[in-house]
Amino acid sequence: MTTPEHSPLGRAVAYPSQYDPTLLFPIPRQPKRDQIGLPSPPPFHGVDIWNAYELGWLDARGKPRVALAEFRVPADSPNLIESKSFKLYLNSLNQTRVDSSEALRAMLAKDLSAAAGATVSVVLLPPSVSHAFQVEPLAGECIDDLPIAIDHYGPPRADFLAVDDQRRTEETLVTHLLKSNCPVTGQPDWASLRIAYAGPRIDRAGLLRYVVSFREHNEFHEQCVERIFLDLLRRCVPSRLTVSARYTRRGGLDINPFRSNVPGASADNPRSVRQ
């Protein structure tokens, strides 16, 4: 398997006009997990939710069809899928005839599961469905208006994280100030972050400084969330922890990693106003 640096991912490429599953570019998760010292198996379960807003194909008579799509890639899959390759793959369907929406869903699930190395679920919704991708605020208390000075924007500083051992709490905190950069293209990746935990009270000023310290950091969405989860787990020692991020879309796709050590916790898919 080649690395992103030796692939066409960071270069100008011709957009395909016919179905081509070989465009999907899987990237092994384990090397980055080894780099941050994530144990195996990892101390979380989770999923990467992808939402697609620019999915189109031709039906059996050649008439264009469109749909919204939700893809769920399990966090225990051996590979993540690089986002530009995902977009190129979806674009390769634009002039491809498919017998039915169900045939398309099955084809997408087969190709993406092969790339991820685990079963990827696919849900297709017509754009006329009123409940699809409803915009709603992220549940939790926003910490973005704290009156603090910040002068460090990378690399991530886990030592900014601190707790009050004398105060225990259960709360959900939200910040819209997470930004990192794509390690392939260098483009900015913007996200809203939600942290739900139980344990010693996390110092909010330190947490906000920590989140902003990703601002000039190069890492994929999924890897950023896993780094945040592990840093919080190590530095703050919560008994329960769930970290999720809602990234803004690029090329018609948004990526939303979810990691939790809470048994039975499942990821919802609330579309934020920034998405």
**Residues involved in catalysis:** 182, 189
Burial call 114-137: b when 16+ CB within 10 Å, e when fewer: ebbbeebebebeeeeeeeebeeee
Which amino acid is residue 161, in one-letter code?
A: L
Which residues are within 8 A (CB) of 45 and not within 5 positions of it... i.e. 6 or more apart?
Answer: 75, 76, 259, 260, 261, 265
120 phi/psi in degrees, rounded to 5: -105, 125
Sequence letter at residue 104: L
Distance of CA 115 to the CA centre of its chain: 16
Q: Which two tokens stand for residue 71?
A: 């893809």
- The single-letter DSSP state of residue 95 is T
Q: What is the C-alpha to C-alpha distance for residues 113 and 24, in angstroms, rounded to an integer?
A: 11
Distance (Å, rounded) from C-alpha 33 to C-alpha 40?
9
In order, the DSSP letters of 228-266 are: HHHHHHHHH--SEEEEEEEEPPBTTEEEEEEEE-STT--
